[in-house]
Structure 1
Amino acid sequence: MLTACGKPHDVYAAACPCRDMLDLLANKWSALALGALEAGPQRFGVLRARLEGISPKVLTATLRRLEEHGLIERTVYPAVPLHVEYSLTPLGADACQPLAALRTWVVANIDRFPAPPVLA
């Protein structure tokens, strides 16, 4: 792909906008949130329960970043209390394919990695 100035994108170049997207997608919480949304639209509480160990603050920030970059959409339903659901956009669904392959590879190969050192 070419940039506006006619040059190809180069993820290794410091100023390439691809770096921001790589940073977003390589984040564990982003990758896991997108994977969790593959099952369909979900509410915040369901996502938080699925992503064990994530704090509400980090989940909120992660969902906002994913929404800002067009990977998910947030739908608010008028109710008391408000009913909010998050779902994948077509772009987000496309991003899920390589992320799913990475998650599958990690699960299949985790036992091949050396054990992390024990800190004293």
Structure 2
Amino acid sequence: MSWIDLIAVMVAQRHSGREAVTASIDRINFITPILIGDHVHLLAMVNYVGRTSMEVGVRVNRENPYTGEITRATTAYLSFVALDPNRKPALVPGLILETETEKRRFEEGRLRVENAREFSKKIREGRK
């Protein structure tokens, strides 16, 4: 799981041009186990950006080193906040959405962020 966070923060920092910190690991789906000896491929992309935050999606594939068969092993969604030199939240550049896939990922990310906010609000209200 640390590999997922490492590649995701690299992508968040590259997109924002700033230091970025993990705000939350929103979801990890374990689909297929990675076996000892498998080669592991990680792919990360910024799906959604807010004012100071970004959602990064990570796909983890396993490759059988003998057959070359590649199988999806894990998907994860993480949220990051960009920081200015004073370690305060900093504005993040928007995404240029060119393909239908990029537009779909952005909308799905927006919905995940909205759902997470609603869930957090319900948790806070339940504690009162």
Q: TM-score, normalised by structure 2?
A: 0.29
Find the structure with the greater CA-based Rg.
1
Using CA pairs under 8 Å that are at least 6 residues apart, name the structure with larger relative contact order, 1 or 2.
Answer: 2
Q: TM-score, normalised by structure 1?
A: 0.30
Give the helix-richer structure, 1 or 2: 1
